[in-house]
């Protein structure tokens, strides 16, 4: 199925232009940057100040939450206040549960965002409900009855609309027919789009958001694939919802958004962070610049035949024993001389030290590459004794030599650096031809290091497609080097490596560049975790906050993280309100949700198990809940 213009180079998907105020989205316009206020919409001055600061930082479209009629009416003052101060940035009203608010606010704003999962349908109860075709059609008629007036008013006033599906707020009707799936997300949006088209209204944009980058990527690709089939050309807005804060939030967002931008998909983006909204603009800008840079690289000419975007499975791989590999994704780092001389060298590899010797922990590297001739025999012996793979670009005792094809040809003649006198341990693949790939495979290497130049995503797709076609089960380490700011490194490595990992391509990561070894190790593990490959720490799903939020989300997120960050494999959702809470928490083990001012509800999976807990007690109660369900470990017990 076609889901983008090309899988071998970036060709931006052609779309119609949708005007949001005076800002064009899609068509020949650049990719637009969006964000959302966190102030109460009932406070017009605070909201105006936030929007002005967003605009000053490069935000092109600003969204505000509109829970009810009071917020809707306040949007008039917000819009007028901005215009009076010389700001023409378009305003988007975010609507959930209450169609009358949409009908009112459309008089004042430039665009309305509706959520198909809760515009007409009630909040999902996650109960099994049988819908035959007749009852299902009757539910669609109810949607048409409630939604058509808004469509007609938007058409009359020339207002834009976003039909924005959230994975966490699908209706019972969709869940019971399609399941909690990307296909259900797409159909949820298409139901509303068909009503728009029946009314000859076309100024709408789609979005398919999830807190899981893999789900988000698949949902958008399915949506665009459906639009190709239908002959539709509507723009799309990209975002990973509830991505969290700090570097983890940026990694998840870059993985999802970046993968799609590299597919040529996306007309507006938002990086949703549990931070003040103006901090979202910088990573958005970095993502757009990176995609623009990628589009200017030389294009490849090949046809993928074995990667099916709607049926992603990992390759069948034969892992060599005792060669620094982990079945859930390997992490390698380079160890130059200055790192070896660091007094905390072993700790920077993720190990703890007992009696002067390293002992692996859950976030210890799997392989260390020594790329200089100088080395410490004691270090080599200690790491070898700890079970960490040792690799070298130059011959070293006790280390496995990484060879290029040219070096291997020479080694074969000299009968050196071979495994069991037969096969090279590892080969570095750069920019060889397909004929040279065949020669490399004929040598039966135990593993491959993939180090291409140029557009690495597309070269990797070509290489892995060739491996699949030839039933090659040798594991592949992605060895990507960067020379940019740490902020750009997070965006670029997450986009490139994350896109490939989410497509099931690659068995490990080896990042290089002018950065601390410890930083590269942590970033590598975080990328693997965001791609749902290798879990080494607690996974936090936290919303970016908005005017609905019932507590200081940033402060609470920090408190919960400080208490629970040491629980690998545990997923904790922190939600400011119940709009997406229960749904997005279906993927979480535990949930912390604002239910009313000063009160918190706690969840286990989808089930609310404790209601109306006083805010001051809620974090302690969450920890108790984790302990009750056998998920708690003391920090010192984590290895």
Instruction: Please report the DSSP string for 369-394 in residue order.
Output: EE-SS---HHHHHHHHHTT-EEEESS
Distance (Å, rounded) from C-alpha 424 to C-alpha 443? 7
Beta pairing partners, 62: 35, 91
Q: What is the CA radius of gyration of the chain?
A: 26
Convert 126-164 to b/e letters by CB count within 10 Å (16 or more is b): beeeeeeeeeeeebeeebbebbeebbebbbeeebbbbbb
Close Cβ partners of 56 (under 8 Å, ≥ 6 residues apart): none
Convert 10-35 to b/e letters by CB count within 10 Å (16 or more is b): bebbebeebbbbebbbbeebebbbbb
Q: What is the pLDDT of residue 424?
A: 57
Pair 393, 426: CB distance under 8 Å: no
Angstrom CA distances, 355 to 179, 193, 359, 360, 365, stand at 53, 66, 10, 14, 20
Q: What is the pLDDT of residue 16?
A: 99
pLDDT beneath 70: ranges in the chain: 122-128, 322, 372-375, 397, 410-424, 545, 547-550, 577-586, 636-639
Q: What is the pLDDT of residue 634?
A: 84
Q: Which phi and psi (to 5°) does residue 165 adopt?
A: -80, 135
Q: By C-alpha distance, which of 525, 522, 485 is closest to 501?
A: 525
Residue 371 tokens read as 């790329």
Rounded to a whole number, what is the largest CA-CA distance in the chain? 82
Q: What is the pLDDT of residue 21?
A: 98
How many CB atoms are closer than 10 A to CB 565? 14
Distance (Å, rounded) from C-alpha 602 to C-alpha 610? 5
Distance (Å, rounded) from C-alpha 584 to C-alpha 542? 10
Mean confidence (pLDDT) of the chain: 90
- Kindly report the pTM of this predicted structure: 0.93
Q: What is the pLDDT of residue 374?
A: 59
Q: What is the pLDDT of residue 263?
A: 97
Distance (Å, rounded) from C-alpha 525 to C-alpha 251? 11
Residue 589 tokens read as 């083990």
Q: Alpha-carbon torsion 630, 611, 274, 259, what sign?
A: positive
Distance (Å, rounded) from C-alpha 546 to C-alpha 241? 12
3-state SS assignment for residue 191: helix
Host H or E run for residue 479? strand 476-481
Q: Which domains, and CATH codes, for the chain?
A: 17-278 (3.20.20.20), 330-530 (3.20.20.60), 539-633 (3.30.413.10)
Distance (Å, rounded) from C-alpha 493 to C-alpha 506? 14
Q: What is the pLDDT of residue 586?
A: 58
Q: Is 345 exposed, middle or buried (0-12, 13-18, 19+ CB in 10 A)?
A: buried
How many CB atoms are closer than 10 A to CB 533? 23
Beta pairing partners, 613: 600
Residue 283 tokens read as 């990573």
Host H or E run for residue 213? helix 213-230
Helices 213-230 and 182-198, axial angle in degrees (round to 10) = 40
Distance (Å, rounded) from C-alpha 58 to C-alpha 35? 10
Residue 298's Cβ-side half-sphere holds a number of Cα atoms within 13 Å equal to: 5
> Cα angle at 629 between 179 and 611, to 5 degrees?
75
Distance (Å, rounded) from C-alpha 412 to C-alpha 249? 47
Q: What is the pLDDT of residue 124?
A: 62
Question: What is the number of helices (H) and of strands (E) in the chain?
Answer: 20, 27
């Amino acid at each position: 199925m076609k889901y983008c213009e090309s899988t071998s180079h970036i060709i931006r998907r052609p779309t119609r232009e949708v005007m949001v105020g005076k800002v064009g989205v899609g068509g020949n316009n650049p990719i637009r940057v969006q964000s959302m206020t966190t102030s109460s919409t009932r406070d017009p001055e605070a909201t105006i100040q936030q929007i002005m600061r967003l605009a000053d930082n490069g935000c092109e479209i600003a969204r505000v939450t509109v829970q009810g009629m009071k917020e809707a009416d306040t949007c008039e003052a917000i819009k007028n206040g901005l215009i009076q101060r010389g700001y023409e940035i378009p305003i988007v009203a975010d609507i959930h549960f209450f169609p009358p608010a949409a009908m009112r606010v459309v008089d004042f704003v430039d665009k309305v965002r509706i959520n198909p999962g809760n515009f007409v349908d009630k909040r999902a109860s996650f109960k099994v409900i049988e819908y035959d075709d007749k009852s299902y059609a009757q539910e669609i008629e109810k949607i048409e009855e409630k939604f058509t007036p808004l469509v007609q008013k938007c058409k009359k006033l020339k207002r834009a609309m976003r039909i924005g599906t959230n994975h966490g707020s699908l209706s019972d009707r969709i869940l019971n027919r399609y399941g909690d799936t990307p296909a259900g997300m797409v159909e949820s949006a298409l139901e509303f789009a068909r009503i728009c088209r029946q009314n000859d209204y076309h100024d709408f944009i789609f979005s398919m958001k999830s807190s899981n980058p893999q789900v988000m990527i698949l949902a958008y690709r399915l949506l665009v694939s459906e639009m190709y089939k239908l002959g539709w050309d509507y723009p799309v807005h990209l975002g990973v919802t509830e991505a969290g804060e700090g570097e983890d939030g940026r990694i998840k967002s870059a993985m999802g958004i970046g993968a799609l931008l590299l597919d040529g998909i996306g007309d507006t983006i938002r990086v949703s962070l549990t931070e003040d909204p103006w901090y979202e603009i910088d990573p958005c800008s970095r993502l757009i610049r990176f995609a623009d840079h990628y589009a200017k690289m030389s294009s490849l000419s090949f046809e993928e035949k074995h990667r099916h975007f709607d049926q992603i499975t990992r390759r069948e791989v034969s892992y060599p024993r005792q060669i620094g590999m982990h079945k859930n994704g390997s992490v390698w780092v380079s160890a130059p001389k200055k790192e070896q001389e660091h007094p905390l060298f072993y700790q920077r590899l993720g190990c703890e030290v007992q009696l002067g010797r390293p002992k692996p922990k859950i976030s210890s590297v799997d392989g260390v590459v020594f790329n200089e001739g100088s080395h410490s025999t004691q270090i080599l012996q200690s790491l070898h004794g700890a079970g960490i793979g040792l690799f070298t670009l130059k011959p070293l005792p006790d280390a496995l030599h990484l060879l290029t094809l040219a070096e291997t040809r020479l080694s074969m003649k000299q009968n050196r650096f071979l495994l069991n006198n037969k096969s090279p341990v590892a080969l570095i693949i750069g920019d060889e031809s397909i004929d040279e790939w065949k020669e490399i495979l004929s040598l039966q290497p135990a593993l491959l290091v993939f180090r291409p130049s140029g557009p690495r995503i597309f070269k990797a797709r070509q290489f892995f497609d060739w491996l699949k076609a030839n039933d090659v089960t040798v594991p592949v380490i992605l060895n990507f080097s960067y020379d940019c700011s740490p902020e750009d490194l997070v965006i670029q490595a997450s986009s490139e490596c994350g896109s490939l990992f989410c497509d099931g391509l690659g068995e490990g990561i080896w990042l290089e560049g002018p950065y601390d070894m410890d930083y590269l190790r942590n970033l590598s593990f975080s990328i693997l975790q965001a791609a749902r490959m290798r879990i080494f720490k607690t996974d936090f799903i936290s919303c970016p906050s908005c005017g609905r939020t019932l507590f200081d989300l940033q402060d609470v997120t920090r408190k919960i993280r400080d208490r629970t960050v040491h629980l690998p494999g545990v997923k904790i959702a922190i939600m400011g309100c119940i709009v997406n809470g229960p749904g997005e928490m279906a993927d979480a083990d535990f949930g912390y949700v604002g239910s009313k001012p000063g009160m918190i509800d706690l969840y286990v999976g989808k089930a609310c198990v404790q209601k109306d807990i006083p805010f001051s007690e809620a974090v302690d109660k969450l920890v108790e809940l984790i302990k009750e369900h056998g998920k708690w470990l003391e920090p010192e017990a984590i290895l």
